A and B are shown apart, each in its own frame.
Chain A
């Protein structure tokens, strides 16, 4: 299947700093990318949907000013966690949807905020 990468795979930061996570579709163009968050022992929770060249659509309860999403090209979307706090510590997963409507997930990024 198609490959979606995330960088970094894990990051540790101090409270109050901002962290950027990259999601790339390596061998296909992604018309839409999605960002999920997963806490331990829980399911994936959809945070937002991003389309190339337009503003992201956030799910209810997700702060758009807290979680900045940029989808500058058909192969790259970034999620920036601004002013991170310990409660933002989680596993962040992106997915990318191809023109053929298939959806592939990245390996995830483990964020730990101290």
Chain B
């Protein structure tokens, strides 16, 4: 299973765009990249998933370069309620689908 590396913490201010980069050098051909958000005492919540290039939904964008060894989660115009831990995970659909969590990135949004 591909291991991921993310910054432990990031600070931002309301209204700013936040980019969190994740490294996954050993990503396999059939692996997808998925990002989750977790608030204290809650289960992780799905944000976005991608395989290559760019994916955008109503809450975030995911940028994946051609070599797929990294990915960047982009949160536009963050608010205080975006303060949370963000996890980048890599897993293939062909295996058991186990999601192994790394340490995640704690994002603190300040007023």
B contact patch SS: loop
Which chain A residues lie closer than 8 Å to B101 at the CB level? 36, 43-46
Given known A1-B46, A43-B104, contact A108–B41 (CB-CB < 8 A): yes
Q: Select one of A1, A43, A104, A108 contacting B87, CB under 8 A.
A: A43
Contact bitstring B31-46, A, C-beta under 8 A = 1, else 0: 0001010000111111
Which chain B residues lie closer than 8 Å to A43 at the CB level? 87, 101-104
The minimal Cβ–Cβ distance linking B4 to chain A, given in whole angstroms, is 11
Interface residues of A (CB under 8 A from B): 1, 4, 6, 32, 34, 36, 43-46, 49, 57, 91, 93, 95, 97, 101-108, 110
17 of the cross-chain contacts (CB-CB < 8 Å) are A6-B43, A43-B103, A45-B101, A46-B99, A46-B101, A49-B98, A91-B41, A93-B44, A95-B43, A97-B97, A103-B46, A103-B97, A104-B46, A105-B44, A107-B43, A108-B41, A108-B43
